[in-house]
Amino acid sequence: MLFKTFLESVIKIKHLELFGEQSHAKMSPPYRLQLAERMREQAKNAKIAGVLALFYPNLEGETYLVLILRKTYKGVHSAQVGFPGGKYEESDRNLMVTALRETEEEVGVPEKQLDVIKALSPLYIPPSNFLVHPFFAISNSTPNFIKQDEEVEDIIEVKLQDFLDEANTIITRVPTSFNVEVDVPAFELNGHVVWGATAMMLGEIKDLLKQVL
């Protein structure tokens, strides 16, 4: 889809009600509610993060979404696909600022180039005890991505039509902290399997886009 066409429709998202858990549940791993229940006390002191779902035109004017592949490290989200973003810092005025600041740090897109359209539904992530606040944003020009080598393994540019294509919503098998493998819903995008919290947030974005496109 041409970005010009996308822009004319996506502005309507501002006025839509969020789907929240209704959307998240479609892409939720089957064990998530059990894990969240076990983490109920810890969740009261969850760390807070802001992430950005950034849509933009490529050089040909087609609409794309940027995701990142995280570095391999000793942590629960090692080598996973996610949104640019990160932990709230006390110097941040609010969580939108967090998402914008971290996006510039991780993929090199300056805040002045971005327009935040809407705050999306927060999502609690039990394995890392984070409450993540996603924001829907656009860039009217093609970003010059520069990845942060310390944290980002790769920048993944996903074509809007591939994201919306139902054929790219799959079921995949993943290992869990329970030492068993389970089938989970996921997106297959650019050869990467995207599941867990990122897939759940993408699920709400997809449901919102389907209302306006």
Q: Where are the domains of the chain?
A: 3-166+197-206
List the 181-189 sheet strands across, edge first.
169-175, 181-189, 192-195
* pLDDT for residue 111 is more than 70: yes
Residue 3 in 3-state DSSP?
A: helix
Residue pair 18/24 in contact (Cβ under 8 Å)? The answer is no
pLDDT digits (tens, 9 = 90+) for 75-108: 554 578 999 999 999 999 999 999 999 999 999 9
Encoded amino acid at 169, one letter: T
Q: What is the share, in percent, of the chain residues with pLDDT greater than 70?
A: 93
Please give the model's pTM, rounded to 2 decimal places: 0.93
Average pLDDT, integer, range 202-206: 98
pLDDT digits (tens, 9 = 90+) for 131-141: 999 999 999 99
Average pLDDT, integer, range 3-30: 94
- Domain range 3-166+197-206, its CATH number among 3.40.50.300, 3.90.79.10, 3.20.20.70, 3.40.50.1370: 3.90.79.10
